């Protein structure tokens, strides 16, 4: 039987999606990306759903993209892109909550940021580490960082490629609250139930209004930046960075 990379639980008026690759720290591979897309599509037209809770099985929320699949992703063979799924999550019609424990790195951090609310265990580690492997943060993901934590914090997060603890993340606005890791699941479920206990029409109207208020804020022309990002992804440095990460050695950058 195929690996169940995402588990889906329907509660009375909210849903819980759990990334289920704990042995890989819930790294995002193509089957998991596809499963997320299908689950979001399943619930986005469900009028009984008033909240969505996103969790990770095991010790980590999500350690980012599975780098063993980066070459395939760069070649553009994936039928569902990470950007399209995260956009779908961002546009989900009711409030979404990320429950973050352990690693939330690169694409894993962005997954949490595309949720409306973020609760972190005190063992959370947050960072955008793509600079370490010669990759580029997509335009929409950079926009999301700026939207959530401002340009100054975004610059620090991107340029240093540092990993921050939960309290540093809260100070920058990456998460809304930090709770003891042993209480994270209980607290996250209680928050989902609290949100889902509010009036469904009000929740949908408020979610739509918040998104509309932000919709034009970052609508800058950026086709040139998409081209730059493509060049970075296809560079020799990107190939070297991923290879060095998988081989657990320091990369040799050549700016080519």
Q: Is the pLDDT of residue 73 over 60?
A: no
If you average pLDDT over every residue of the chain, what do you get?
Answer: 90
User: How far is Cα 117 from Cα 148, in angstroms, rounded to an integer?
Assistant: 11
Q: Give the pLDDT band (50/70/90) at residue 68.
A: confident
- Average pLDDT, integer, range 127-152: 92
Task: Give the mean pLDDT of 108-119.
Answer: 97
Q: Predicted confidence band at 1 (pLDDT cuts at 50, 70, 90)?
A: very low
What is the pTM assigned to this prediction? Answer: 0.88
Does residue 51 carry a pLDDT above 80?
yes
C-alpha dihedral sign at 106, 107, 110, 112: negative
The pLDDT of residue 221: 63
The answer to whether residues 88 and 44 touch, using CB atoms and an 8 Å cutoff, is yes
Can you tell me the mean pLDDT for 136-147?
91
Banded pLDDT at 75 (limits 50, 70, 90): very low
What would the mean pLDDT of 170-181 be, rounded to a whole number?
Answer: 97
CA angle 90, 95, 99 (to 5 degrees): 85
What domains can be seen in the chain, in order of their start residue?
6-202 (3.90.226.10)
Contact between 86 and 111 (Cβ < 8 Å): yes
More confident residue, 224 or 181: 181
């Amino acid at each position: 039987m195929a690996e169940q990379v995402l588990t889906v639980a329907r509660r009375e008026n909210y849903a819980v999606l759990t990334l289920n690759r704990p042995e890989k720290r819930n790294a995002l591979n193509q089957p998991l990306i596809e499963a997320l897309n299908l689950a979001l599509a399943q619930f986005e037209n469900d009028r009984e759903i008033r909240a969505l809770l996103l969790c990770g099985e095991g010790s980590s929320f999500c350690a980012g993209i599975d780098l063993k699949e980066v070459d395939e992703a760069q070649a553009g063979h994936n039928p569902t892109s990470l950007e399209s799924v995260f956009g779908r999550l961002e546009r989900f019609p009711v409030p979404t909550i990320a429950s973050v424990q352990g690693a939330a790195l690169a694409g894993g951090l962005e997954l949490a940021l595309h949720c409306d609310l973020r609760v972190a265990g005190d063992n959370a580690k947050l960072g955008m580490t793509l600079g370490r492997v010669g990759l580029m943060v997509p335009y929409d993901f950079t926009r999301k960082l700026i939207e959530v934590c401002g340009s100054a914090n975004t610059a620090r997060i991107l340029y240093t490629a540092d990993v921050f603890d939960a309290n540093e993340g809260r100070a920058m606005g990456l998460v809304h609250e930090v709770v003891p890791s042993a209480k994270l699941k209980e607290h996250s479920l209680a928050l989902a139930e609290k949100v889902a206990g509010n009036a469904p029409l009000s929740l949908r109207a408020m979610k739509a209004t918040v998104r509309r208020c932000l919709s034009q804020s970052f609508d800058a022309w950026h086709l040139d930046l998409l081209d730059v990002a493509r060049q970075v992804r296809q560079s020799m440095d990107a190939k070297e960075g991923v290879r060095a990460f998988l081989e657990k050695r320091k990369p040799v950058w050549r700016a080519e």
